[in-house]
Amino acid sequence: MAEQILYVEDNDFFSQVVSDALQKKGYEVTIARDGEEGLHFLEHNVYNLVFLDLLLPKIDGFELLKRMRDQLALNPIPIIAVLSNISGEDDIKRAKELGVTDFLVKATTSPEDISVLAERLLSKKDPSTP
């Protein structure tokens, strides 16, 4: 079974380009268009990796990270990577404190870079996780 990736991103063009790149590598990608939809998917599905924008409608990325961390049912998600144009040191530190593994700046990251990161992160995960 293919690894499951959730990508929470409100920019339709960017989410499609990234999703296409990840699917070419064999991953199954679900796209959530806002933080509320992302939380809904996380509550009802199992993912191996979450890519998350921070500037999202309804529930922003930081609040979504906090809810993921605080809700026991969501704790099994092994890897969370931020993919955002917010890139201040305080924002990066805050994201990492909330459990983020990697932080990429969208404006300087190609879809190929993202798929390479997914391969690297997923190859490091514990084989006993879903």
Instruction: Write out the chain's pLDDT in tens, 130 residues.
Output: 789 999 999 999 999 999 999 999 999 999 999 999 999 999 899 899 999 999 999 999 999 999 888 875 555 676 888 988 888 899 999 998 988 989 999 989 999 999 999 999 998 754 444 4
Any idea of the CA torsion for 81, 100, 103, 48, to the nearest 10 degrees?
-20
Task: Give the amino acid at 72.
Answer: L
Separation of alpha carbons 125 and 105, rounded Å: 23
Asked if 1 and 94 count as a contact pair (C-beta separation under 8 A), the reply is no
pLDDT of residue 90: 93
Asked if 101 and 79 count as a contact pair (C-beta separation under 8 A), the reply is yes
pLDDT per residue as tens digits for the range 76-114: 676 888 988 888 899 999 998 988 989 999 989 999 999
* Token code pair at residue 29: 């990608």
Nearest C-alpha neighbor of 118 from the set 20, 9, 27, 46? 27
Structural domains in the chain plus CATH codes = 4-124 (3.40.50.2300)
- pTM of the complete model: 0.89
